[in-house]
Structure 1
Amino acid sequence: MRISCAIVSYHNPPEQIAEALRSVAATPMDIALYLIDNSANDSLGAVAREFGAHYIHRPDNPGFGSAHNLAIAASLEQGADYHVVLNPDISFGPEVLPALSAYMEQHRDIGLLMPDIRYPDGSRQHLCKLLPHPGDLTVRRFLPFLYRLSGRVHTYELHCGDYDSTMEVPALSGCFMFLRTAVLRQVGGFDQRFFMYLEDVDLSRRIGRVARTVYYPGVSIVHAYQKGSYRNSALLMRHIRSAIQYFGKWGWFFDAERSEVNRRALQKLQKRPQATVTSASMLDRKP
């Protein structure tokens, strides 16, 4: 079994990158490790060499997905069985990648796997989501109190499921994606039209057409989760632009595939009374 792993950095602190690389390097498996550095300078090259990572410097900053596609292409060329997409603010123990690869070997119909994800304080991040509706992204971002009050956040983040159990999920976070390369060959890597944000939802959706996309809580990782677009106006504009591109590609308020995928997911995961959960069809009707 051959595994590759990639991190894309943009002016991240060297100590943060070192922690992520250390997590991979401490894994008792032979892993091809890539650091794609979109920073203006190549100061992270020394950190990459310290952990035996292939260092690719892209000072032109092609974006998150485009940079990851460089490592995905190398992974496919080298004949890897699995490829792991990591955020720079991730850390985990040596048991994580062996457990995920073993689970993927046992379940050949899975194309994308995501583990349990925790904040540094140990609390859980609810990163399993339905395919987004424009209303979800807009109200969740700009009117979070109203969004929580409406109860839609519980549906969108699949609180109706059980985060202590394995779940089949329409959209999984790009902070940690364990990918089957045979499926990547079939659907392609990240859509390079998305500079940053929603490229993970787009890839999850395309994988979901041909394979299962699954959340697996058998192992946990730590994600610092910076939420940059909530504090940086330039990143917020990137987020808005990506949302426009995403809905322009897949459909805005009327998206039959989204409605059907979300309906099936809720049917499988829903454990509370129907009256307390917003239906997928309602998500496609509300603004």
Structure 2
Amino acid sequence: MQYDTSLSEMPLKTELKDRNLNVSIVRYGQSFDLIALLINLLKQASVVHTIYIIDNSQVEDIRFHSLSVEYIKNKRNIGFGRAHNIAIQHSINDNIVYHAVINPDVTFEPRILFRIIKFMQNNPKIGALMPKIFYPNGDLQYLCKLLPAPLDLISKRFFPEKWTRKRIDKFQLKHFDYNETLNVPYLSGCFLILKIEALQKVGLFDERFFLYPEDIDLSRRIHEHYDTVFYPEVNITHAHEQGSYKKLYLLVIHVVNMIRYFNKWGWILDQQRKQINSQTLSLVDNLKNQK
């Protein structure tokens, strides 16, 4: 699909009433300084209306109250998706057009948010968008993915790389040119711009998922009705920690929640997954053939 990539100029500062993007950041133990840096970047973006800090940490940090953000302290860790849903519901109630879900450990040039929103306005079929994402060392993160089958995740997590490289490369679309815009069914929740209209149609994050597959599930539901787009014209840096590879309790959480995901969508006999993935691979092949 071809997208309108035109950009019109807009003042760096706009009236608050004209800003149409809310942002939520879920905190679980991250330092005040790290999140304050991200808040500073967001406040420089011309399209941001309200920033929500949803704190799942054990201890409240009162310093957030001084940063002109909406700080919401939960009594316990309620999970990633459920915490973001609190802020998203505020966006719905306030008639905000777009909502950004952003991890605390990302950095970016503030003006990219204007470019993203303008691109989504020009292409109303887009329900969710993810930019190009790099590691702090400059390496690309391969986050354009097919919908996972159980073997994809088992292979990636538990088998030697030399046995599974071909399968994982296909799952992560490594043969795809990451300089191309693509309608892809699985977008990462580390930096995800959501159209509120799409969320009102398909629902918010599924709160049965405490952590990890909530972005797969939401991307998939939006993808059924809208384009879920990888947009490489802008980029961010994400210090991706892959916690489930380092901490046993996070691995257990990952496995339990992926079981819930496959119980919801199907394990082997998921025909919709096969159809969506086949369509995505055809799009990738068409882009290759156009060169």
TM-score normalised to structure 1 length = 0.91
Q: 2:96 aligns with which of 80, 89, 111?
A: 80
1:14-163 → structure 2 map (5 Å cutoff): 14-43=32-61, 45-46=62-63, 48-149=64-165, 151-163=166-178
Q: Would the aligned equivalents of 2:97 and 2:196 in 1 still touch at CA under 8 Å?
A: yes
Give unpaired runs (5+ residues) of structure 2. 1-18
1:212-251: per-residue Cα shift (whole Å, max 9, x none)?
0000011111100010000010100000001100000000
Q: Which amino acid aligns with 2:58?
A: A
Equivalent-residue separation in structure 1 for 2:201 and 2:128 (angstroms)? 13
1:164-183 → structure 2 map (5 Å cutoff): 164-183=179-198
Q: 1:202 aligns with which of 217, 224, 229?
A: 217
Q: Would the aligned equivalents of 1:65 and 1:199 in 2 still touch at CA under 8 Å?
A: yes
Equivalent-residue separation in structure 2 for 1:140 and 1:166 (angstroms)? 26
Identity %: 40
TM-score normalised to structure 2 length = 0.90
Q: Would the aligned equivalents of 1:35 and 1:55 in 2 still touch at CA under 8 Å?
A: yes
Q: Would the aligned equivalents of 1:161 and 1:167 in 2 still touch at CA under 8 Å?
A: no
Equivalent-residue separation in structure 2 for 1:110 and 1:173 (angstroms)? 16
Equivalent-residue separation in structure 2 for 1:262 and 1:229 (angstroms)? 26
- Counterpart residue number, 2:278: 263
Q: 1:220 aligns with which of 235, 257, 264?
A: 235
1:49-99: per-residue Cα shift (whole Å, max 9, x none)?
343110000131111010000000001001100000001111111111101
Query: Which deviates more, 118-127 or 13-22?
Result: 13-22
Residue aligned with 1:270, SS: helix
Query: Which deviates more, 21-30 or 155-164?
Result: 21-30
Equivalent-residue separation in structure 2 for 1:272 and 1:186 (angstroms)? 30
Report the Cα offset of residue 38 of structure 1.
0.3
Q: Would the aligned equivalents of 1:131 and 1:170 in 2 still touch at CA under 8 Å?
A: yes
Equivalent-residue separation in structure 2 for 1:225 and 1:65 (angstroms)? 18
1:104-144: per-residue Cα shift (whole Å, max 9, x none)?
00000000000010111121111110000000001101114
Q: Would the aligned equivalents of 1:197 and 1:239 in 2 still touch at CA under 8 Å?
A: yes
Equivalent-residue separation in structure 1 for 2:48 and 2:83 (angstroms)? 23
Equivalent-residue separation in structure 1 for 2:146 and 2:286 (angstroms)? 16
Report the Cα offset of residue 271 of structure 1.
6.5
Two-structure CA RMSD over aligned residues (Å): 1.6
Residue aligned with 2:170, SS: helix
1:175-224: per-residue Cα shift (whole Å, max 9, x none)?
01100001111111100000001100000000011100000011111100
Q: Which amino acid aligns with 2:258?
A: A
Give unpaired runs (5+ residues) of structure 1. 274-287
Equivalent-residue separation in structure 1 for 2:210 and 2:135 (angstroms)? 26
